[in-house]
Chains A and B, each alone.
Chain A
Amino acid sequence: MLRLIGQRLLAMVPLLLIVSVLTFSFTALLPSDPVDLIIGDRGSEEQYQMIRERLGLNEPFVTRYVTWLGQAVQGDLGTSFFNSVRVTDAVMLRMPATLSLTFASVLISVVVGLGAGVAAALRPRSWIDRLATVGATIGQAVPNFWFGLILASVFAVSLRWFPATGYVRLAEDPAGWLRSITLPALALGLSTSAAIARQVRSAMVGVLQQDYIRAARAQGLPARRVIFRHALKNALVPVVTVLSFQITVLLGGALIVEQVFAINGIGSLAVAAVRQQDIPMIQGIVLVLVLVVMAVQLATDVLYGLINPKARPA
């Protein structure tokens, strides 16, 4: 297992390098001169040159990249163009909200997806199967932010069970955190729940027809045990694959759902940074998001190895 983790970590290095080159070079494509944006048109030529100098914009591209990368490796993603806020601090401050939302929706997706998928697979063609299948198909067609609006309008505005906006930090008030995260996570988790339900159903239907399930039953093991131990562990394999692929979808979706619930996460930071063309901020956000994606994919790889012995390196 350690070897697998080591291999995966090693494989991440080139990918991260490419992402860093990509994010660093796309900013060179930005149409406007960041210095113009910073000083507006009130600045003199001297001021202009001074700011360019301070931001290191007069250095050649490669020098700038190497400097930036060298600092990034040490956890310093630079400073915003528009104030003295350090990008690392800003991203780390916003990350908990986005990660809370993302992982809460992963949890919801797994629970709902597994539940619906297993229930459907156990009784193919029953009403519960049809309900789950129809639900999953519709679930994948519903825009997460619209679902969020509907949830907010019903459960927050009308019923007042949950807050309509805002994010409470976990350390501050765990119960408040749970309440603040519930509706957004439900909205975000819908389509992933649907994807997992579909995957679990088809995997379970396949697994339940396997000889080893029949063999386990033939040994007189209780049906419940056979389904939830023997079948589910095998059906989980594709679920883990789906999750590792869905994590980018969920993180991306979180950026939009955050706006519905006015959560101060990476989403509003990213939109503001893009509007201001705050280059270091955009670079930092993209890089950190990719790191999160990679960490999750590493975790799912490990998980995959745990539940699927065949995937382990010999």
Chain B
Amino acid sequence: MTFAIRKLAYSTFAAAALFVLPATADPAGTFRFAEQAKLITMDPHNHSGGGFSYLRPVYESLFDRNPDGDIVPVLADSYQVDGRTVTITLKPGITFSDGTDLTADLAARNLNRVIELGVNAGVKLAEKAEATGPDQITLTLKSPDPSIIDALSGTAGMMVSAAALDDPALDRNPVGTGPYVYSPEESREGELRVYTPAPGYRDPEAQGLARIEISEIPDNTARLNALKTGQVDLAIFLSSPQAAIVDRTPGLKLLRQPGGTTYHLSVLDREGTQVPAFADPRVRMAMNYAIDREAFSKAVEFGLSTPATQPYAEGLWAYDPALEGRYAYDLDKAKALMQEAGYAEGFEFTMPSIPIFASRLEAVAGFLKEINVTMNIQTVEPGTLARRSRTTDFPATNLVWNNAIDPKFVTTYYVAEDAVFNPFRIKPDPKLTELSEAGLAIADEAGRAPIYREMLGRLAEESYMIFITTTPILFGASDAVATNETVQFRPGTDTPYFAGIRLGN
């Protein structure tokens, strides 16, 4: 199967995204951004999520998404997908901030490193990359993957200079092709990351800032205060009382970006090895009915989120309007189902938690208590929840689903027998497997949508994924930043485009 060649000729997607630029080209002003995640590593290929902002000023990917959500080439010039073969032509004349050139060999080396490290789930289906021409690389896949270009628009597609790849301290000394360079001298570990314009960057227009400062402020109140006192101009927020306060503070705006994360429970032990009740779909449905999502999003998430019964929010292509309200709060129905399943007296199970999920789980425990289900909460170390969810330590777990990722991952994460979060290795309903495979075989979203809607519908009936709420990506911004049209956000992620931002008039 051959896809049409899409020759995209933007000089940079960022320039395309921008509106009329002021004529002044000299970088000016400091843009101060607050991250809620701590910086773990600045090595994009070892990056496992949270805190992408730290990478963005320095690194560029082969592709990126523009503010409209379309994939556009950045370091790539064009690409061609032919079954298991992806051919990517590089844009000529790209240089790293250390002065070296981005060659096809180096690009292949970067991609192979991503594949070997295996941190990035988006390239799970990639096999190897090789340089097949002066400006051309070929990526071979294990099986066709309609979302491979999407994956290469994230950290997997970020290009690191050859010297930096050899540096054991790459995690703190990033060298990329981006408009800004990281300044370790001015940065303070655990507090502040400073970036300055990269000399010789190919598009000086995109370097509107003299300095970017990204503060690490994991504490919600501290981040709010930093925003209030003008120590930062823009800050990421999760749904929290502090985000609600931003919303009502004069001089500040809470910006809701499309996409977001869907919080959900997942019953892992659905054959009842540890908790027999979980084997009965009626019990799982009862749990689904017992949760008052309206109250949950109003109280626990301060009205910043919306009730969800599926992994995608309205407006995204995989969203299914038919599933809306599938599990509307109905305590009587829930109790009846429990009765029917023979668990009117309830049962008990243990749920892993991390601090940021604590209040959500406390609320869920309160709802389940109404149908006599006792949910014990056991806190695990932050950063280990996903890992523990891959083991049989717990009969159920709770996670967030990023709306920006392809629905194929529903299968690879939860459904397939060897899915990441299927530690009990339960064989899925054959129909689900069949639908998953069908979804991979088609390239365009319009064709894939009905397949995935059917799959999600069947999943809802099995009710082992209990979706609760979808929270949009939230930013707190000063009025000046909120009205600054050069400040744009990358759809589905929690990072602004640093390239192109200008301050002042």
Contacts and interface: CB of A to CB of B under 8 A. Distances in A.
Contacts of B169: 84
Interface in A239-269: 259, 262, 264, 268-269
B190 A275 contact: no
B84 interface: no
B229 A41 contact: no
B172 A84 contact: yes
Given A42-B119, A85-B172, A90 B226 contact: no
Given A90-B190, A164-B221, A262-B225, 13 more contacts: A41-B387, A82-B41, A84-B173, A85-B172, A93-B190, A94-B190, A165-B221, A165-B222, A166-B222, A166-B225, A262-B222, A264-B190, A275-B382
A83 B190 contact: no
Nearest to B48: A40
Contacts of B170: 84
Contact of A89 (B119, B189, B231, B383): B189
Interface of B: 38, 40-41, 48, 118-119, 168-173, 188-191, 217, 219, 221-222, 225-226, 229, 231, 381-384, 387, 390
A277 B381 CA distance: 9
A165 B40 CA distance: 23
A165 B390 CA distance: 37
Contact of B189 (A90, A164, A165): A90
A94 B188 CA distance: 9
Nearest to B171: A83
Contacts of A166: 222, 225-226, 231
B381 A272 contact: no
- Which of the listed residues B38, B48, B188, B219 has the most CB atoms from chain A within 10 Å of its own CB? B219
Q: Which of A40, A83, A89, A94 has the most CB of B within 10 A?
A: A83
Contacts of A276: 381, 383
A275 to B, nearest CB: 5
B82 to A, nearest CB: 29
A268 B38 CA distance: 11
A163 interface: yes
Nearest to B190: A264
A82 B118 CA distance: 17
A14 B363 CA distance: 52
Nearest to A44: B118
A163 B225 contact: yes
A90 B226 CA distance: 23
Contacts of A40: 48, 387
A169 to B, nearest CB: 9
A83 B172 contact: yes
B222 A93 contact: no
A243 B250 CA distance: 46
Contacts of B38: 272
A82 B40 contact: yes
26 contacts: A40-B387, A41-B387, A41-B390, A42-B118, A82-B41, A83-B40, A83-B171, A84-B168, A84-B170, A84-B171, A84-B173, A85-B172, A93-B188, A93-B190, A163-B225, A163-B229, A164-B225, A165-B222, A165-B225, A165-B226, A166-B222, A166-B225, A259-B219, A262-B221, A262-B222, A269-B190
Contacts of B390: 41
B176 to A, nearest CB: 17
Nearest to A264: B191
Contacts of B189: 85, 89-90, 93
A269 to B, nearest CB: 7
Nearest to B192: A264
Contacts, number: 60
Contacts of B222: 165-166, 262
A40 B229 CA distance: 39
Interface in A131-167: 163-166
Contacts of B387: 40-41
A83 B41 contact: yes
A163 B229 CA distance: 9
Given A89-B189, A90-B189, A262 B217 contact: yes
Interface in A84-117: 84-85, 89-90, 93-94
Contacts of A272: 38
Contact of B219 (A89, A262, A275): A262
A164 B231 CA distance: 13
A120 to B, nearest CB: 38
Contacts of A268: 190
Contacts of B119: 42
A94 B189 CA distance: 9
B383 A165 contact: no
A94 B381 CA distance: 22
A42 B124 CA distance: 11
Nearest to B216: A264
A42 B386 CA distance: 12
Interface in A35-51: 37, 40-43
Contacts of B383: 275-276
A269 B217 CA distance: 13
The 6 A-B residue pairs with the shortest CB-CB distance, nearest first, are A262-B222, A84-B169, A165-B222, A262-B219, A165-B225, A83-B171
A85 B39 CA distance: 11
Contacts of B229: 163
Nearest to A84: B169
Contacts of A83: 40-41, 171-172
A199 to B, nearest CB: 36
A93 B188 CA distance: 7
A183 to B, nearest CB: 13
Contacts of B171: 83-84
A208 B171 CA distance: 64
A96 to B, nearest CB: 11
A41 B382 CA distance: 16
Contacts of A41: 387, 390
A168 B340 CA distance: 62
A31 B384 CA distance: 14
A31 to B, nearest CB: 11
Nearest to B217: A262
Contacts of B191: 93, 264
A166 B173 CA distance: 27
A275 B356 CA distance: 14
Contact of B381 (A90, A259, A269, A275): A275
A89 B189 CA distance: 8
Contacts of A84: 168-173
**Interface centre among B40, B189, B226, B383, by most A CB within 10 Å?**
B189
A30 to B, nearest CB: 12
A43 B116 CA distance: 10
Contacts of B231: 166
A87 to B, nearest CB: 11
Contacts of A93: 188-191
Contacts of A42: 118-119
A163 B228 CA distance: 10
A82 to B, nearest CB: 7
Contacts of B172: 83-85
B219 A165 contact: yes
A37 B383 CA distance: 9
| Interface-central residue, A84, A259, A268, by most chain B CB under 10 Å | A84
Contacts of A164: 221, 225
A163 B230 CA distance: 12
B470 to A, nearest CB: 27
A304 B229 CA distance: 44
